[in-house]
Amino acid sequence: MDYIITTKQLTKKYKSFAAVNNVSLNIRKGSIYGFLGPNGAGKSTTMKMLLGLTAPTKGSFTINGKQFPNDRLSILKEVGSFIESPSYYANLTGRENLDIIRRILGLSKSSVADALELVGLSEFGGRLAKKYSLGMKQRLGLAGALLGRPPILILDEPTNGLDPSGIHEIRNLIKSLPGLYDCTVLISSHMLSEIELMADDIGILNHGRLLFEGSLDELRQNALQSGFAADNLEDMFLSMIDKDNVSRKQRAKL
């Protein structure tokens, strides 16, 4: 199998608390990988480690055959990212914000208009970013990730703050990306219903541990074997989390 991102026993500990615990991910090239888990499961921390924003306590990972920290700059050239909340210069317009990123990445001027067009912000490109609504800031953050159409996208809850039509629009955009220019998307969410509509593969994380990794079909089979209806993956996901929480409590009592 052609994996573009692999992690080996990736661990992040803050004193005695393990935010991410021995997580081994395998993300196929050209796929959309949904990273699922409740709030505080360790999704963002894992993504931050992949971007070099925080150092792993243990374990390693490769992105497109390159390793952190030695290949940090060349990895970041190939990865478009959006973590937690949009990051922008409040004193600059949306277009100027993207132009800063474009210059850092050494892209052509047309890439800014292309990214604005992709996220539907073209007509607001000249407005100061601080005057954007939350949804527009979210789109700007996404445009920053999509700038230059990078081969790998790491998106942490990119639809937060968007209205239902915005969620639908961004979801369709993300879904279309691998077909549009052959990219791989790692996207996180705490809602299976959200991920179900666009992901090819999923990884379920709870309290820093990876509970499941596989395709949606495999998750469906898993659901059937566990006595859940295959069309109700949300229940399957929630029970998986509950079961893990119960066993954690039992382990803690022992």
Partner 1 sequence: MRTFAIELRKEKRTGVIPLMLAVGILGAVYAFVFFLVQKDTLLNLPLAPMDVLLTQLYGMIMVLNMFGIIVAACIIYNMEFKGSAIKKMYMLPMSIPTMYFYKYLILIIMFFIVIVFQNLALTIIGLTDLPQDTFEFETLLSFAGYSFITSVPVLSFMVLVSSRFENMWVPLGMGVAGFLSGMALAASNNMFLCVHPFVIMLKPAVAMSAQPDTIVVIFSLVETAIFLFSGLWAAKYLRCE
**Residue 90 near partner 1 by CB under 8 A:** yes
Task: Say which residue the tokens 């954690």 belong to.
Answer: 248
**Residue 18 near partner 1 by CB under 8 A:** no
**Residue 53 near partner 1 by CB under 8 A:** yes
**Residue 21 near partner 1 by CB under 8 A:** no
Beta bridge partners of 10: 23
Instruction: Give the CA angle between residues 55, 98, 187 to the nearest 5°.
Output: 50
**Which of 129/146 has CB closer to partner 1?**
129
- Distance in angstroms (rounded) separating the CA atoms of residues 108 and 10: 36
Binding test (CB under 8 A) with partner 1, winner from 66, 100, 122, 244 = 100
CB 146 within 8 A of CB 119: yes
Name the E strands within 105-250.
152-156, 184-189, 201-206, 209-215
Binding test (CB under 8 A) with partner 1, winner from 3, 8, 26, 51 = 51
**Residue 181 near partner 1 by CB under 8 A:** no
**Which of 99/213 has CB closer to partner 1?**
99
**Which of 84/200 has CB closer to partner 1?**
84
Q: What is the smallest separation between the CB atom of 170 and partner 1, expressed in angstroms?
A: 18
Binding test (CB under 8 A) with partner 1, winner from 13, 58, 66, 77 = 77
Binding test (CB under 8 A) with partner 1, winner from 81, 111, 184, 189 = 81
77 by DSSP, 3-state: which?
helix
Residue 186: closest CA among 225, 158, 222, 227: 158
**Residue 230 near partner 1 by CB under 8 A:** no
Helix axes of 164-181 and 110-119: crossing angle, nearest 10 degrees = 130
Binding test (CB under 8 A) with partner 1, winner from 67, 91, 176, 245 = 91
Helix axes of 164-181 and 134-146: crossing angle, nearest 10 degrees = 0
Both tokens of 42, joined, read 């360790």
Residue 22: closest CA among 5, 9, 37, 39: 9
Residue count at the site for partner 1 (CB under 8 A)?
33
**Which of 48/207 has CB closer to partner 1?**
48
At 224, the amino acid letter reads L
**Residue 215 near partner 1 by CB under 8 A:** no
Binding test (CB under 8 A) with partner 1, winner from 40, 67, 89, 180 = 89
Residue 146: closest CA among 104, 109, 183: 183
**Residue 99 near partner 1 by CB under 8 A:** yes
Q: Which residues bind partner 1 (CB under 8 A)?
A: 48, 51-55, 72-74, 76-77, 79, 81, 83, 85-92, 96, 99-101, 103-105, 128-130, 144
